[in-house]
């Protein structure tokens, strides 16, 4: 008897429908965190603020909890179960988005967004290790998963612009909130129950076995590069909507049109993750990461000094390489860490990286208000340069032991 396609296991041992929902979860994770950044101008007007820059700092709690919550989420994922945590993720994201839509002042909004960030923190240390726990081509799988996550950013830009224009900013949280809850119910139905927690399983060995000293060094470099990458990611994804609006001021001012343009940038740039993911499975990490870091520098500078369609092209090039750098840290964890520990290691890395990088969201409004986007983009170029220097500290794998299987 043939097995329905949705129930057949994929290369990671999960039913295809469950893997599909894990990728959808990545899209939801990033989409929900960027709805506010896209709708902030409308929310600011509704709450009586004179400018979006004054309301932007109220979202810092979401991004702080996005990082700080990753540590306990990763621990619970390894010790209690990844399936259970993902069900909580879907339900919590949906419920907190609905709560955001019910707020009526800035502090209520800040509290609801912080709760949203707490639930959003579950995905990366739990969902990605669950997706790659038995796969033989983690780079390719992470690349596709990264594409899904960044398509979520594109959807946020497009959908939020349309919903704000036709139904108001509250609908921009209600509609995806209902979708997230529905996805959680479907995931619960199609994902098999775990027979034991990941921490008790055998197998799932790291592909490359490093000495303790090299592992500590690699974790330090991994975390430092993740901090730099997250700063660039948070600044661009939270600021691009306003940067594009400023660059096209007097030419294009319709929020739906600007949202569609930004969505196009994100959709095209997201394809870089598939390319980079496949390259990760075939090339050494160090030169590939270094090249992607260095190339970002001139494109940030170009974006600082262009307007209208020149800015559109510069932003597209910036986002291709910002998004293209994302798969590395997750692929490094799969490459160097046993599956029994991956959620906890990912949680520690994410807590440091996202916790520190949340400052970019808090500073975005005041920074742009005080010095303008051009100066801020030059600072981003400097951070990209620092990231390249950090990558040079990554140890070589020539003396390490390589496992051919998982």
pLDDT tens-digit readout, 322-360? 888 877 777 777 777 766 667 777 777 777 776 676 676
**CB 156 within 8 Å of CB 30:** yes
First vs last Cα of the chain: how many Å apart?
30
In this prediction, residues 193-222 reach a mean pLDDT of 70
Three-state secondary structure readout of the chain: CCCCHHHCECCCCCEHHHHHHHHHHHHHHHHHHHHHHHHHHHHHHHCCCCCHHHHHHHHHHHHHHHHHCHHHHHHHHHHCCHHHHHHHHHHHHHHHHHHHHCCCCHHHHHHHHHHHHHHHCCHHHHHHHHHHCCCCCHHHHHHHHHHHHHHHHHHHHHHHHHHHHHCCCCHHHHHHHHHHHHHHHHHHHHCCCCCCCHHHCCCCCCCEECCHHHHHHHHHHHHHHHHHHHHHHHHHHHHHHHHHHHHCCCCCCCHHHHHHHHHHHHHHHHHHHHHHHHHHCCCCHHHHHHHHHHHHHHHHHHHHCCCHHHHHHHHHHHHHHHHHCCHHHHHHHHHHCCHHHHHHHHHHHHHHHHHHHCHHHHHHHHHHHHHHHHHHHHHHHHHHHHHHHHHCCCCCCCCCEECCCC
pLDDT tens-digit readout, 122-171? 998 898 888 887 676 777 788 888 888 878 877 877 888 888 888 989 99
List, in order of start, the domains of the chain with CATH numbers: 15-192+204-395 (1.20.1250.20)
pLDDT level of residue 274 (50, 70, 90 thresholds)? confident
pLDDT tens-digit readout, 365-397? 777 777 888 888 898 899 899 988 988 887 665
pLDDT tens-digit readout, 1-21? 444 544 444 444 688 899 899
| 114: nearest Cα among 154, 156, 69 | 69
Name the residue with higher pLDDT: 35 or 366.
35
Name the residue with higher pLDDT: 177 or 396.
177
Please give the pLDDT value at position 7. 47
Report the percentage of the chain scoring pLDDT > 70: 86
Please give the pLDDT value at position 25. 93
Enter the tokens of residue 183: 């996805």
Enter the tokens of residue 212: 């303790």
| 198: nearest Cα among 75, 362, 16 | 75
Report the half-sphere exposure of 1 (CA within 13 A, side-chain side).
Answer: 3
| 78: nearest Cα among 339, 402, 376 | 339
Name the residue with higher pLDDT: 314 or 53.
314
Q: What are phi and psi of 9, to 5 degrees?
A: -70, 145
Name the residue with higher pLDDT: 43 or 9.
43
Looking at the predicted structure, is the pLDDT value of residue 197 above 80? no
**Whole-angstrom distance, CA of residue 235 vs CA of residue 243:** 11
Q: What angle do CA 107, 26, 332 make, to 5 degrees?
A: 110
**Whole-angstrom distance, CA of residue 359 vs CA of residue 70:** 17
Entry pTM: 0.71
**CB 43 within 8 Å of CB 169:** yes
Please give the pLDDT value at position 53. 79
For CA atoms 211, 216, 219, 225, give the dihedral sign.
Answer: negative
Q: What angle do CA 290, 151, 43 make, to 5 degrees?
A: 110
pLDDT level of residue 309 (50, 70, 90 thresholds)? very high
């Amino acid at each position: 008897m043939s097995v329905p396609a949705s129930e057949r296991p994929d290369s990671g041992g999960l039913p295809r429908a469950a893997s599909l929902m894990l990728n959808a979860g990545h899209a939801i994770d990033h989409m929900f965190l960027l709805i506010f950044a896209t709708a902030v101008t409308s929310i600011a007007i509704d709450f009586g603020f004179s400018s979006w820059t004054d309301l932007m700092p109220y979202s810092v709690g979401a991004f702080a909890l996005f990082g700080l919550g990753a540590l306990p989420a990763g621990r619970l994922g390894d010790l209690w179960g990844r399936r259970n945590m993902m069900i909580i993720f879907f339900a919590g994201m949906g419920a907190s988005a609905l709560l955001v839509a019910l707020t009526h002042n800035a502090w209520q909004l800040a509290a609801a967004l912080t709760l949203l960030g707490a639930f959003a923190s579950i995905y990366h240390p739990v969902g990605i290790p669950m997706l790659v726990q038995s796969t033989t081509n983690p780079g390719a799988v992470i690349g596709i998963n990264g594409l899904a996550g960044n398509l979520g950013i594109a959807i946020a830009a497009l959908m939020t612009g349309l919903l704000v224009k036709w139904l108001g900013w509250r609908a921009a949280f209600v509609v995806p909130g209902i979708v997230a809850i529905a996805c959680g119910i479907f995931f619960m139905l199609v994902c098999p129950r775990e027979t034991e927690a990941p921490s008790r399983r055998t197998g799932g060995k790291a592909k490359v076995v490093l000495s303790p000293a090299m592992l500590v060094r690699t974790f330090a470099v991994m975390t430092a590069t993740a901090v730099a990458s997250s700063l660039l990611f948070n600044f661009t994804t939270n600021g691009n909507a306003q940067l594009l609006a400023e660059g096209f001021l007097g030419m294009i001012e319709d929020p739906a049109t600007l949202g569609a343009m930004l969505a196009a940038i994100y959709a095209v740039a997201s394809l870089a993750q598939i390319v980079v993911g496949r390259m990760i499975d075939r090339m050494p990490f160090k030169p590939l990461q270094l090249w992607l870091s260095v190339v970002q520098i001139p494109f940030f500078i170009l974006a600082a000094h262009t307007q209208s369609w020149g800015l559109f092209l510069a932003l597209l090039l910036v986002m291709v390489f910002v998004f293209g750098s994302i798969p590395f840290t997750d692929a490094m964890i799969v490459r160097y860490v046993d599956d029994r520990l991956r959620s906890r290691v990912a949680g520690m890395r994410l807590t440091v990286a996202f916790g520190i990088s949340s400052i970019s969201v808090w500073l975005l409004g005041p920074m742009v208000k005080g010095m303008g986007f051009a100066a801020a983009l030059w600072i981003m170029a400097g951070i990209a340069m620092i990231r390249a220097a950090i990558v040079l500290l990554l140890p070589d794998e020539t003396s390490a032991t390589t496992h051919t299987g998982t």
